[in-house]
Amino acid sequence: MAKILCVLFDDPVPGYPPEYPRDEIPTISDYPDGQKAPTPNAIDFTPGQLLGSVSGELGLRKFLEGAGHELVVTSDKDGTDSEFEKHLVDADVVISQPFWPAYLTAERIEKAKNLKLAITAGIGSDHVDLEGAMKNGITVAEVTYCNSISVAEHVVMMILGLVRNYIPSHQIVTDGGWNIADAVSREYDLEGMQVGTVAAGRIGLAVLRRLAPFDVGLHYTDRHRLPKEVEEELNLTFHETPQEMVPQCDVVTINAPLHPETEHLFDDEMIASMKRGTYLINTARGKICDRDAIVRGLESGQLAGYAGDVWFPQPAPQDHPWRTMPHEGMTPHTSGASLSAQTRYAAGTREILECFFDEKPIRDEYLIVDGGELAGTGAHSYSEGDATKGSEEAAEFKR
């Protein structure tokens, strides 16, 4: 019997939904690059339900308890007195989501003597000390591509929201006003602007494809250059480095994984190199940006707007300056947590567990760390190191 410790976000404030706005969601069987969507042997949930909160349990309880395993589900993840910390000491498997990450620091890994597998129910495993996982023989896996398109849609929404000044305009209506001049004094057209993505993997490329019809100039930088035919199809301009690309852009979107090479990439120096009035969108990881440099950029006018779906740590403390800085379009890491995406990442989590318990290979594209080294997608996208330092501040949210 194995002990599975699953950390999920809290249920809705009014309670777990008795019904949903829609009766069904589209079935996605293949992703744009041909990769198959998750294919577990079975699922014990209805697609489109809320699965990522505590009561949803990722639809895993019947499957795991039916096989004789113990499942512990909690949202209490931060601090030495948390439920996560208490159960980690004898857990064999830890499951966490990027939206409400259970930070597996080096200190926590040392306490978890039985831990063999850390699963990210979603995409992005930077909340795990990957170096520590390698040293301790822990396999790290995530459900690659499950919510990439979800995030790409969110990016396009945020770009339009900032450029068209949507949030303040909507607030005027909510407040009972009709202040057209106030609304349009910061509103522009996206058409004709130069838009660049830092990283053009599954999410970044999906963003580029969705922006092409807007008649914008498209730029990208990535450690892996896209095929020539893709560049020609989308009329892309490639840049060797982010430092080379960002001065050319009116809009910059960050779609890179967090690792030591990207940590605090957007600092004062990088922001100063951008055009005055650039819009910056970050649905990747909060720590890719220097927290206070973003605030300074907005207050000085160097940045016209910042829309972010990611913070560090998560949840962000109540006094986090991104909650109150000017010209922001922040969301609480919802871009990849749509009910549509939850169906896929819950199914993918079960697929990984089925492989683990049956001692079958986990899909290569799901692997981040295996056999003491970066593997699969991890070897392609990450570099060795630890990006969890400072995560203990997440406990400040409760206080």
The predicted-structure confidence for 49-92, as pLDDT tens digits, reads as follows 999 999 999 999 999 999 999 999 999 999 999 999 999 999 99
314: domain CATH number?
Answer: 3.40.50.720
388 is a domain residue: no
pLDDT surpassing 90 at residue 389? no
131 is a domain residue: yes
Active site residue 333: yes
Q: Same domain, yes or no, for 315 and 369?
A: no
Structurally, how many domains does the chain consist of?
2
pLDDT surpassing 80 at residue 154? yes
Catalytic residue among 49, 97, 147, 282: 147
Convert the pLDDT of each residue in 182-196 to its tens digit. 999 999 999 999 999
Catalytic residue among 87, 154, 327, 333: 333
391 is a domain residue: no
Q: Same domain, yes or no, for 120 and 75?
A: yes
User: Checking DSSP bridges between strand 194-198 and strand 217-221, what pairing results, if any?
Assistant: parallel
Convert the pLDDT of each residue in 202-259 to its tens digit. 999 999 999 999 999 999 999 999 999 999 999 999 999 999 999 999 999 999 999 9
CB burial of residue 262 (10 Å; 0-12, 13-18, 19+): buried
Give residue 382's pLDDT.
87
C-alpha to C-alpha distance for 221 and 91, rounded to whole angstroms = 40
Q: Same domain, yes or no, for 15 and 117?
A: yes
Residue where one domain finishes, among candidates 323, 355, 385: 323
Q: Same domain, yes or no, for 212 and 345?
A: no
Per the structure block, which two tokens stand in for 341?
């995406």
Mean pLDDT of the chain: 96
Per the structure block, which two tokens stand in for 139?
């396999």
Q: What is the pTM of this model?
A: 0.95
DSSP one-letter string for 265-301: -B-HHHHHTSPTTEEEEE-S-GGGB-HHHHHHHHHHT
Q: Same domain, yes or no, for 104 and 157?
A: no
Give residue 349's pLDDT.
98
Q: Same domain, yes or no, for 56 and 154?
A: no
Q: Same domain, yes or no, for 164 and 299?
A: yes
Q: Same domain, yes or no, for 129 and 152?
A: no
390 is a domain residue: no
Catalytic residue among 285, 320, 344, 350: 285
Q: Same domain, yes or no, for 133 and 188?
A: no
Q: Same domain, yes or no, for 21 and 117?
A: yes
79 is a domain residue: yes
The pLDDT of 352-379, averaged and rounded, is 97
What domain range is 370 assigned to? 3-144+337-375
203 is a domain residue: yes
The pLDDT of 299-313, averaged and rounded, is 97
Position 12 confidence tier, pLDDT thresholds 50, 70, 90: very high
156 is a domain residue: yes
pLDDT surpassing 80 at residue 134? yes
Rounded to the nearest 10 degrees, how much is the dihedral formed by the CA atoms of 129, 130, 131, 134? 130
C-alpha to C-alpha distance for 344 and 76, rounded to whole angstroms = 24
Q: Which residues pair with 140 in a beta bridge?
A: 118, 369
Give residue 399's pLDDT.
64
Rounded percentage of the chain residues whose pLDDT exceeds 70: 99
234 is a domain residue: yes
Q: Same domain, yes or no, for 113 and 180?
A: no
Per the structure block, which two tokens stand in for 272?
């100063």
pLDDT surpassing 90 at residue 375? yes
Q: Same domain, yes or no, for 282 and 155?
A: yes
Give residue 225's pLDDT.
97
- The reply to whether omega before 18 is within 30° of 0 (cis) is no
Q: What DSSP designation does 363 have?
A: P
Give residue 384's pLDDT.
81
